[in-house]
């Protein structure tokens, strides 16, 4: 798998290149936005936002306009606005520096798996020991069926359909509640809290403050 690391900081770039190479990835580095946009052979892109020649968000926008290559933003810019804009511009994930190397590898494998494994819409969604069957609207965890309300099921199915990816609050409202309301979204928090109780572990649904939620297998 070919990974393009877009990073102008030499020490960090070298660390990522060596670590990813040890994991079996074919790694290339671009130190500027222009160089990144000139590179079109990657299977996944790790994109820093603070580049010497242009804003990484502009690079993300241009890359997404050109192709569907998975993009993971890796940046020290962890403010809510940066996360939201990055995801809305087409990034598949967003990691804030400092980060753990194992997390980066896990995120790479998650986004590329989602991109390369199309799913039959009638096939149950399987996330670890959690199975969400959209056809029968039944959910089981470790073989035990969960009693979910219709909206709880719809919310969990939406998260499970792209497990590991961050779904924004507005996207969830649009898909589950069929509304484009941009005010307070406490109804989502209420349903997430209820789902966490029924799943028996708060870690199943991660909250990215000011951005949204993602479904992950608790470690």
Q: How far apart are the first and last CA of the chain?
A: 26
Q: What is the pLDDT of residue 119?
A: 53
- Looking at domain 125-215, its CATH architecture is Orthogonal Bundle (1.10)
Q: What is the pLDDT of residue 94?
A: 87
Q: What is the pLDDT of residue 173?
A: 85
The domain segmentation of the chain, as residue ranges, is 2-116, 125-215
Name the pTM for this structure: 0.61
For residues 88 and 168, the answer to whether their CB atoms sit within 8 Å is yes
The C-alpha atoms of residue 46 and residue 64 are separated, in whole angstroms, by 13
Q: What is the pLDDT of residue 205?
A: 96
Q: What is the pLDDT of residue 97?
A: 86
CATH superfamily of 2-116: Response regulator (3.40.50.2300)
Q: Can you give the pLDDT of all 219 residues of the chain as single tens digits?
A: 899 999 999 999 999 999 999 999 999 999 999 999 999 889 999 999 999 999 999 999 999 888 888 999 998 877 777 777 888 788 888 888 888 888 898 888 878 776 655 555 678 999 999 999 988 899 999 999 999 988 899 999 999 988 888 888 888 888 888 765 555 568 889 899 999 999 999 999 999 887 889 999 997
Asked if 2-116 and 125-215 have one fold, the answer is: no
Q: CA 88: distance to chain centroid?
A: 12
The C-alpha atoms of residue 113 and residue 203 are separated, in whole angstroms, by 22
Give me the numbers of helices (H) and strands (E) for the chain, helices first please.
8, 12
* DSSP states along 129-151: TEEEETTTTEEEETTEEP---HH
Q: What is the pLDDT of residue 184?
A: 54
């Amino acid at each position: 798998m070919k990974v393009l690391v877009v990073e102008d900081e030499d020490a960090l770039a070298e660390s990522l290149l060596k670590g990813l190479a040890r994991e079996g990835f074919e790694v290339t580095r671009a130190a500027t936005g222009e160089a990144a946009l000139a590179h079109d052979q990657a299977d996944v892109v790790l994109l820093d936002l603070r580049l010497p020649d242009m804003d990484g968000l502009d690079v993300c926008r241009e890359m997404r306009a050109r192709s569907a290559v998975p993009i993971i933003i890796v940046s020290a810019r962890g403010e809510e606005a940066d996360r939201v804009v990055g995801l809305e511009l087409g990034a598949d994930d967003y990691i804030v520096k400092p980060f753990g190397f194992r997390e980066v590898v896990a995120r790479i494998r998650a986004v590329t798996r989602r991109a390369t494994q199309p799913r039959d819409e009638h096939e149950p969604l399987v996330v670890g020991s959690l199975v969400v069957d959209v056809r029968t609207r039944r959910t089981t965890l470790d073989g035990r069926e969960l009693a979910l309300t219709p909206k709880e099921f719809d919310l969990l199915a939406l998260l499970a359909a792209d497990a590991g990816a961050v779904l924004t609050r507005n996207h969830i409202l649009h898909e589950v509640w069929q509304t484009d309301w941009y005010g307070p979204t406490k109804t989502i928090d209420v349903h997430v809290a209820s789902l966490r109780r029924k799943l028996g572990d708060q870690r199943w649904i991660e909250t990215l403050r000011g951005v949204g939620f993602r479904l992950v297998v608790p470690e």
